[in-house]
Amino acid sequence: MTIIALDSSINKTGYAIWQGRKLLESGVLKTKGNSTSEKLLTLKQELVKVLTGKSIDRAYVETVGKGFSYFSKTSKYSGKSLNQAALHKLSMAVGALLLVLSDWGIVTEEVEATAWKAGRPKALDTNIASRLAGKSITHDEADAILMGYYCMERV
């Protein structure tokens, strides 16, 4: 089974393609433009480039948890606090990713960040993912790699 994991963002969406326990490819979809609509269009275009020529069986897209509140953050969860505008843009990016994947006929599952992160420090995640990828990577790419690993273990 071949999967793609996407660490959603309006500016830099990390992705990782796994086949079984083998990481085939990873990177970052970088958006361009000043307006949200321009960024969403380039997000779509960049994802289509990654999908072209590949046979992906399933996609996993990171989403904000159902119980998330941008007003407060407890020590139980790691990551940055989001304000309402950031949460709105993130939701639009998730929607754009889901639409592209649906257009490609790829079965998709939304994954809450808290489900796979297990409260690990971001620096540790980047270090682990960098070793799996065999290259230096950003935290966006690291999150996609580790989320993909988590999801492959569940399949």
Split into its structural domains, the chain has a count of 1
Average pLDDT, the chain: 88
pLDDT grade for 75, boundaries at 50, 70 and 90: very low
DSSP character string of 49-71: HHHTT----EEEEEE--TT--SS
CATH assignment at residue 142: 3.30.420.10
Q: Residue 24 belongs to what H/E stretch?
A: strand 22-30
CA Rg value for the chain: 15
Is the Cβ–Cβ distance between 39 and 30 less than 8 Å? no
Higher per-residue confidence, 86 vs 56 = 56
Chain centroid to Cα 28, Å, comes to: 9
Q: So what's the pLDDT on residue 64?
A: 78
- Residues spanned by the domain of 50: 2-154
Please give the share of the chain, as a percent, with pLDDT higher than 70: 86
